[in-house]
With several copies, the nearest count.
Chain A
Amino acid sequence: MLCGLLGALLPCTALAAPPPILETEESNTAVMPKPNPHWLYVGTRAGGVTIIDGDTAKIVGTINAAPAAGFALAPQGKEYYVSETIWTRMNRGTRQDLLSVYDGHTLNLIKDIELPGRLIASGRTPYFSTSADGLRGYVYNMQPASSIITIDLAKRNVLGITEIPACGLIYPHGKTGVATLCADGALADVAIDASGHGRITDRIPFFDAQQDPVFEESPVDRAGGQALFITFNGMVHPVHLGAPSTLEKAWSLQQAAGLSPATTSPEQTTWRPGGRRPFAFHPGSKRLYALMHEGAPWEQKRSGTELWVLDTATHQLVNRFTLPTSGYAVGVSEDNAPLLFVLSEDGWLWVMDPETGKILRSLRDVGRTTLLATDRS
């Protein structure tokens, strides 16, 4: 360096070319990158749906949502849908039940579709969902009679209301199929016509709703119509959803691991499923992922200390992963090179390799999760 050669004659800083001055910047707004199947959608208690890219564990964007909202996606992430209830004066004024439609590229609000009602409860997948092709939206309502509000998502209007007495929750399948669960422990098929009106056509009793109910967040592959209704004790009831739906042979998560099946006996401490959203299903590999803890009955919301990997074809446990912090919700991407997602009660997202359980990436401060969604597009 010249200044070095000149030694003490000139200080080095005086001769070195000064670094260029940084250029000024304009403010702008980003748009969404092309969606990929490794995106995870996380709804939180405080409101908002955070979109996280599992390949980087970074936030891509946030969709506005009121607390206790529902959330659904159009195929290929072209649009996002939020079902929510807002009062004109926050906690007072006029109640407004809305299905808010957001553009997938800009995340700008396209339209608020006014709804005739909706159940206000801590967000769960079967409170608001769409048909597999994304053309119909279904909002669960209970005020206090139980009903399904069907929305034409292309025309952006409410088609009609179908009452489902003594049943609740919505599990759509295929283009127009809808199943629901009933207070007496049956699955009911609901036929809803093009006008949004319909009725229950079939009822298949298969569980004890009082002693060993099935989890609301039981996983369903809407496209294939394959559902796995899983009870608090860990009995897996495979159902092929259709008209009518057909029940397959039940099996036990504990037996898949070589243990005795769990019972409702308070004395029996064993591995049990639990959490906010304890299950995820990967249709391609037919693998089920379950958050498991050791405990007694009636701890169905307790977070999982382990994640179990189960083969739903052979009913065998494939792997058990110990989690860094207890898992509250689990998801798996639906592509052929899937990522596993675990949200913890203390606000961590763990992105894991579903084959090895290795923690690939993580993100903290995600907030208390209610909803969790992935999309195969």
Chain B
Amino acid sequence: MFDGRLFEGWSEKLTRRLASGTSRRGVLSRVGLALAAAPVFPLLPVDRSRAHAATTPRLTEFQKNAQVTDDTRCNYWRYCAIDGSLCSCCGGGVHSCPPGTQPSLTSWVGTCYNPADKRSYLIAYRDCCGTSSCRQCHCDNTDGALPTYRPQANNEIIWCFGTSSMAYHCSTAALVGVAE
């Protein structure tokens, strides 16, 4: 169920960024965890292991209860690994930060199953930062969430790297590609 065009669109950005200069490569080689600080999209390994064939999905508890219509509820399909307040409840949207906040330049990533098209997608969870905490619609979903030694899948880090303020406000869930 891999869609080459869209996924390549996403990985193309990745490749462009990787080629954008020696200094960044220098940083990346030190990071080692495929985690980058500054670019618009985070540098991520593709999560192959948790992808599901469309025909025979073995669903997690979250996936069994996931819905595709209301992005202000914790069981909206994209929120499979979100930890925090939903920006959809705070004046933002599923991939939009509320006014007065900035999206983090890095993010953690989940692989979520969309019950409508039975595909799995890569979701970048970007924190929105800069203003008093929203405190609405708090969710703590943990499908595929990993400890800090796998930071790109960790939802407890305040992911406000690269923003002018690290005050946590809420979290978004942008679709960044199809999981293999």
Contact = CB atoms under 8 A, between A and B. Distances in A.
User: Is there a direct interface between A and B, measured as CB atoms under 8 Å apart in the complex?
Assistant: yes
Interface of A: 13, 18-32, 46-51, 58-65, 68, 85, 87, 90-92, 95, 102, 105-108, 119-122, 124, 126-127, 140, 142-146, 163, 165-169, 180-183, 209-211, 213-216, 265-267, 295-301, 365, 367
Given A21-B117, A62-B91, A299-B61, A168 B151 contact: yes
A165 B30 CA distance: 6
- Nearest first, the 4 A-B pairs at minimum CB distance are A48-B132, A107-B100, A91-B167, A166-B32
Residue of A18, A46, A295, A298 with most chain B CB atoms under a 10 A cut-off: A298
A3 to B, nearest CB: 15
Contact of A64 (B1, B9, B50, B167): B167
B142 A300 contact: yes
A62 B91 CA distance: 8
Contacts of A215: 147
B158 A48 contact: no
Given A21-B178, A169-B149, A32 B99 contact: yes
B175 A25 contact: yes
Interface in B71-86: none
A216 B58 contact: no
B67 interface: no
B149 A29 contact: no
A27 B99 contact: no
Q: Is chain A's interface secondary structure helix, strand, loop, or mixed overall?
A: loop
Contacts of A143: 37, 161
A343 B169 CA distance: 22
Contacts of B142: 298-301
A24 B9 contact: yes
Residue of A62, A167, A214 with most chain B CB atoms under a 10 A cut-off: A62
A46 B133 contact: yes
Contacts of A49: 132
A29 B103 contact: yes
Contacts of A209: 146, 149-150
Contacts, number: 242
A127 B148 CA distance: 9
A326 to B, nearest CB: 14
Contacts of A120: 157-158, 160, 166
Interface residues of B, number: 83
Contacts of B103: 27-29
A230 B136 CA distance: 33
B36 to A, nearest CB: 7
Residue of A21, A48, A215 with most chain B CB atoms under a 10 A cut-off: A21
9 contacts: A27-B124, A29-B99, A51-B91, A58-B89, A60-B91, A91-B132, A143-B37, A169-B147, A298-B62
Interface string B38-75: 00100000010110000100111111000000000000
Nearest to B55: A13
A126 B148 CA distance: 10
Contacts of B40: 26-27
Contacts of A13: 55
Nearest to B13: A24
Contacts of B33: 144, 146, 165-166, 183
A210 B156 contact: no
Given A169-B147, A209-B149, A365-B135, A29 B36 contact: no
Contact of B121 (A22, A29, A108): A22
A214 B49 CA distance: 18
Interface in B118-170: 119, 121, 124, 126, 128, 130-137, 140, 142-151, 154, 156-158, 160-161, 164-167, 169
B62 to A, nearest CB: 7
Given A62-B134, A144-B31, A300-B142, A107 B99 contact: yes
Given A91-B130, A91-B131, A145-B31, A24 B177 contact: yes
Residue of A95, A107, A183 with most chain B CB atoms under a 10 A cut-off: A183
A19 B101 CA distance: 34
B140 A301 contact: yes
Given A27-B126, A30-B99, A62-B100, A107 B49 contact: no
B116 interface: yes
Given A32-B99, A121-B156, A91 B165 contact: yes
A64 B30 contact: no
Contacts of A85: 166
